[in-house]
């Protein structure tokens, strides 16, 4: 789960990671009011208006603007940014609508750094990465100048140790800014480790982490991702910060009934059991159909233990999509019984009507029973013996047999 910068900064504040003063705003009036309040509190006319969307690269896309002319200018900027379709390298060409703003104290910095914590799955440790190349896309730094990224790994049993933070601090040359800067960085990194562990994050990134004139270190940005598997430990809290406007509505609908769904650009709806088989089904459709413009419209894993209602729901979701020109149901029943799938498919098809061809490949537990249910349903379902056979029949169905 992703959360907004302002929500991440609230968590930072709770654990003692220094942040600039700031307030969220959801309307232009609110933006003006909190800008006024900030200017009074900080005795400075400089505020930053920041678009809150779940994607990086907002600055470059025009979603982060500095107002030096007080609350009136902040209001103007808020007017421009709120409601805009913000396009960044992470949003895709359509961009993402800005529904929330964060109004923050403008700070003058002497240096922009990068500090991030990730799960390093190859080393099976939390890795902290730091760089003097702050404010830039860290992926680019990693690609072009990997020597500029310093990394330490934290032993999960020992926990955070100050010496590891000092290693990064001196590596970044923080001693040049003030006597206290190294110590401040060590404290900040310790707090960030606490955030990672206690809040069950899969990623915490500060880009930029800035050094101020007085030698303080402050997190100007906050990118915080939660590990979905840990939701049971944070139910109420995560429900509060979850922003459904940032999610694909169909993916949300699927999640509500316990299905794994990802929208794709193609024209073949897929209903599969198991994540690996679901991915492989997408792959084989593309493999067979690429030349003819046939590609998967979705990833859908109904899981190992889906009941008939879930299958019906899943099939209905695919049937409702306009872009779907054919549907491939691919099941290798292990725990999932083929007859349960067949009944779910038949129920949804009878309910909504079959407007596009459906190819069904059933294999495994109760396969004969499943096939019988489909045969006797009276529905025009095209049976397939193997995945390859199914993919070929899908391509023929979409292209009207002209391939």
Ligand X SMILES: Nc1ncnc2c1ncn2[C@@H]1O[C@H](COP(=O)(O)OP(=O)(O)OP(=O)(O)O)[C@@H](O)[C@H]1O
Give residues in contact with another protein (CB under 8 A): 90, 119, 121-122, 124-126, 139, 142, 155-157, 196-197, 200, 202, 227-230, 232-233, 260, 262, 264, 272-288, 295-296, 299, 301, 304-305, 332-335, 363-365, 386-388, 391
- Give the strand pairing for 109-120 and 201-212: antiparallel
**In this structure, are residues 278 and 300 in contact, taking their beta carbons and an 8 Å threshold?**
yes
Single out the residue of 1, 34, 48, 317 in contact with ligand X (rule: CB under 6 A): 48
DSSP assignment string, 186-233 = HHHHHHHHHHHHHTTEEEEEEEEEEEETTS-EEES--EEEE-GGGGGG
Give residues 218-247 in contact with ligand X (rule: CB under 6 A). 220-221
127 interacts with, out of ligand X, another protein, Mg ion, none, CB within 5 to 8 A per kind:
none
Is 135 a binding residue for ligand X by CB under 6 A? The answer is yes
Q: Least distance in Å: CB of 317 to another protein?
A: 16
Task: Select which of 114, 177, 193, 261 is catalytic.
Answer: 114
C-beta atoms surrounding 76 within 10 Å: 17
Q: Which does 42 bind (CB under 5 to 8 A by kind): another protein, Mg ion, ligand X, none?
A: none
Cα–Cα distances in angstroms (integers) from residue 368 to residues 8, 329, 359, in the given order:
53, 16, 16
Q: Please identify, among the stretches 6-14, 50-58, 293-301, 322-330, the one whose residues bind ligand X according to the rule CB under 6 A.
A: 50-58
* 372: CB partners within 8 A, 6+ apart: none
| Binding flag, residue 106, ligand X (CB under 6 A) | yes
Q: Is 102 a catalytic residue?
A: no
In whole angstroms, the minimum distance from the beta carbon of 221 to Mg ion comes to: 4
Distance CA 111, CA 360 (A): 60
The answer for residues whose C-beta is within 8 angstroms of residue 150's C-beta and 6 or more apart is 129, 130, 131, 167, 168, 171, 172
Under rule CB under 6 A, residue 59 binds ligand X:
yes
Residue 73 touches ligand X, criterion: CB under 6 A: no
Helix (H) or strand (E) run with residue 260 in it: strand 260-263
Query: Which of ligand X, Mg ion, another protein, none has residue 382 at its interface (CB below 5 to 8 Å by kind)?
Result: none
Name which of 152, 94, 148, 91 is nearest 120 in CA terms. Answer: 152
Could you give the 3-state DSSP secondary structure of residue 111?
A: strand
Catalytic, 23? Answer no
Catalytic residues: 114, 205
Binding site for ligand X (CB under 6 A): 20, 48, 50, 56-59, 64, 104-107, 112, 135, 207-208, 220-221
């Amino acid at each position: 789960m992703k959360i907004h910068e302002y929500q991440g900064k609230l968590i930072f504040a709770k654990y003692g990671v220094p942040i600039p003063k700031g307030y969220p705003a959801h309307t232009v009036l609110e933006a003006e009011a909190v800008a006024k309040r900030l200017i009074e509190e900080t005795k400075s006319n400089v505020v930053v208006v920041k678009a809150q969307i779940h994607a990086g690269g907002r600055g470059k896309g025009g979603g982060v603007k500095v107002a030096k002319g007080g609350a009136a200018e902040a209001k103007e900027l808020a007017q421009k940014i709120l409601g805009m379709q913000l396009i960044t390298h992470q949003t895709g060409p359509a961009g993402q609508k800005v529904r929330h703003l964060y109004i923050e104290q403008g700070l003058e910095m002497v240096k922009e750094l990068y500090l991030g914590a990730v799960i390093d799955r190859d080393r099976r440790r939390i890795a902290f990465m730091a760089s003097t190349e702050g404010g830039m896309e860290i992926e680019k730094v990693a690609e072009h100048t990997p020597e500029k990224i310093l990394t330490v790994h934290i032993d999960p049993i020992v926990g955070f140790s100050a010496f590891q933070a000092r290693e990064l601090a001196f590596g970044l040359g923080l001693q040049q800014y003030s006597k206290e800067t190294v110590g401040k960085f060590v404290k900040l990194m310790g707090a960030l480790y606490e955030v990672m562990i206690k809040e069950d994050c899969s990623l915490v990134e500060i880009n930029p982490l800035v050094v101020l004139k007085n030698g303080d270190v402050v997190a100007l940005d906050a990118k915080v991702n939660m590990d979905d598997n840990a939701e049971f430990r944070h139910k109420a809290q995560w429900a509060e910060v979850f922003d459904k406007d940032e999610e694909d509505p169909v993916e949300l609908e699927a999640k509500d009934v316990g299905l794994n769904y990802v929208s794709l650009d193609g024209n073949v709806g897929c209903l599969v059991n198991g994540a690996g088989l679901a991915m492989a089904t997408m792959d084989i459709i593309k493999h067979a159909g690429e030349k003819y413009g046939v590609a998967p419209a979705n990833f859908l894993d109904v899981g190992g233990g889906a009941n008939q209602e879930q299958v019906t729901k899943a099939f209905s979701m695919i049937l409702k999509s306009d872009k779907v020109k054919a549907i491939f149901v691919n099941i290798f029943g292990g725990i999932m019984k083929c007859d349960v799938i067949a009944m779910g498919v038949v129920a949804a098809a009878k309910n909504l009507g079959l407007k596009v061809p459906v190819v069904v490949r059933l294999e495994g537990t109760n396969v004969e029973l499943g096939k019988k249910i489909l045969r006797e349903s009276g529905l025009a379902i095209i049976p397939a013996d193997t995945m390859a056979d199914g993919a070929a029949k899908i391509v023929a169905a979409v292209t009207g047999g002209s391939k």
